[in-house]
Chains A and B, each alone.
Chain A
Amino acid sequence: MNSTGHFEEDDLVLYAMHLLAEPEASAVARYVAESEEARRQLADVRASLAAYAEATVELQAPPNGSLDRLMGQIAQEQKTIAMPVTVPARTAVRAESRGLPGKVLPWIGWAVAAGMTVAAGKLYQDRATLHRMLTAQTGQVTQLSAGAMAVYHERDTLKTDVAEQAKEFEALRMEATRAKSEMANLRTTAAGQTAKLNEETAKSGEQTEVAANAMRERDVLRGTVAAQADQMARLTTDATKARQVLEALTDRGALRVTLTEPKTSAAPTGRATYVASRGTLVFLASNLAPLKPDKVYQLWIMPADGSNPVPAGTFAPDERGNASVVYGQFPRAVLAKGFAVTIENDGGSQTPTLPIILAG
């Protein structure tokens, strides 16, 4: 529809092709109903479209049996044709005779004969028509009978099918009942197994806790045993050293020498106890003069074979001038003829530095 309220031919063409949507389609339909010009235009459009369809479509024959199907359907929908009402000729004759008795009477016989002939012809036509209708209806009855037989047959077939389906349904119902029962049993079993599993899981948890505690205790004990083993080793070492010292001090064959400052009779003294076969050396000193922080006293073993003095350890006196050097097992088995003490730089020396502080 354009702005002036009139329909354009575009819309009429679309309407003719059923392509207009509502409400435009209804509006165009009203317009066509009211306007003769619109109806003419619509007829023109349809004629063009019809020609277009006829001219462009590729013709193809309908499927086989299409006509038979149509005729079969038509046979089932027989038309009832209205019969024309025949007017008896005698009535007309009587009407005429009332008006002009004298002139018409001589023709009555002929008129009756003609009327009879017409009536007979009409009756013959009616009979023929009735005969056709009877034939058609007989055909229809035959078809209906055949149809009824087919329906009866179909009904029997359906009855059989229904009975079979009922049997199948019953079998399925029983199977479903059995399946339900089995499922209930399975559910009960599964519930029992689940409860048992939960219980075992709880127990397992407790056992796991106990095992963890045991492992922790074991680790603690291991640590304790290791510490005790270390302590034992230390005590054993200490006991060994103590025993060696004791044996050195009590050994009758031990060389015992008292060392003094060579040029003075002052107080510094040293006493060395040495068992060469065991390598045990105990040196005790007293009245030693204090040293500078970077100096230490160093004990020397004077080998019996006259070779160079062997360093036997460094030491620093305490505030009272006392000091000691103890070797449980001297590294080198050296036979000694004497001992000496010198002052060396901190860390000791490989050769003695003069002067000799103590000797003996």
Chain B
Amino acid sequence: MAKKSDALGAITASMEPDSSLLAMVQQGHEQAMARLFHRHSKLVYSVALRVLRDPAAAEDVLQEIFMQIWRTPPNFIEARGSLGGWLAVVSRNRSIDLLRKKRPTESVEDVPLASPYDLAKEAEQNLMLERVRILVAELPDEQRKALEMAFFEGLTHSEIAKKTECPLGTVKTRIRSAVQTLGKAFRP
């Protein structure tokens, strides 16, 4: 009986939307914070690790972001995007700031996303991510490489132009075109 009750609790917890957990965090519920951590820490940590290539520094970024959520939980509107994706962007931006030894230039509340999908529904989110993967694979090599260097390596368009020996305008166009192509994943 006890086992059944635990399993039910786990299922209920896993189905709890991010917005509800954030509201509980607002009320000081530590367990809600732990659930958010279980749900999103891998993504946040992995993005930071991909950018920084340093496990200790990536964990620092992870701790910092979740502590900021604890102190000032963002007013997250699910209809505008997934909390996971949102945290991934915050993690990437923090890591790039760290890489460039800059002070953090934004708080977690300053990164609004947009999505016409109901991304709270896991199935729809998975479908969208699969479409993004396909679009990334279909990107021309030079666009995919430019986006990767800009997003994960934090290279500026000038640095990418120098590294690839391409004109500055070409590099900017490649990055913008790649991002525009990825935007197709949100369109029906």
Q: Which residues of A contact B (CB under 8 A)?
A: 9-11, 13-14, 17-19, 21, 39-40, 42-63, 66-67, 69-71, 73-75, 77-79, 81
Report 11 cross-chain contacts, Cβ distance below 8 Å, ordered by A residue.
Answer: A13-B175, A17-B93, A47-B115, A47-B183, A50-B85, A57-B47, A61-B42, A63-B59, A67-B37, A69-B63, A77-B67
| 0/1 string, B34-47, CB within 8 A of A gives 1 | 10011001110111
Structural contact, B45 and A55, CB atoms closer than 8 A = no
Cβ-closest chain B residue relative to A46: B113
SS class of chain A's interface: helix, strand, loop or mixed? helix
Structural contact, A46 and B89, CB atoms closer than 8 A = yes
Structural contact, A74 and B93, CB atoms closer than 8 A = no
Q: Which of A21, A43, A55, A77 makes the CB contact (< 8 A) with B136?
A: A55
Which residues of chain B (64-83) have a CB below 8 Å from chain A? Answer: 66-67, 70-71, 80-82
Which residues of chain B (18-32) have a CB below 8 Å from chain A? Answer: 27-28, 30
Cα of A63 to Cα of B57 in the assembled complex, Å: 11
Q: If the complex has contacts A46-B113, A54-B88, A55-B136, are A70 and B46 also in contact, measured as CB distance less than 8 A?
A: no
Which residues does chain B contribute within 8 Å of A75, judged by CB atoms? 30
Give B142 Cβ to nearest chain A Cβ, in Å.
15
Cβ-closest chain B residue relative to A81: B28
Structural contact, A66 and B115, CB atoms closer than 8 A = no
Structural contact, B93 and A45, CB atoms closer than 8 A = no
Q: If the complex has contacts A59-B43, A62-B62, A66-B63, are A53 and B176 also in contact, measured as CB distance less than 8 A?
A: no
Structural contact, B50 and A57, CB atoms closer than 8 A = yes
Q: Which of A21, A40, A78 makes the CB contact (< 8 A) with B114?
A: A40
Cα of A232 to Cα of B176 in the assembled complex, Å: 119
Structural contact, A59 and B112, CB atoms closer than 8 A = no
Which residues does chain A contribute within 8 Å of B172, judged by CB atoms? 10-11, 13-14
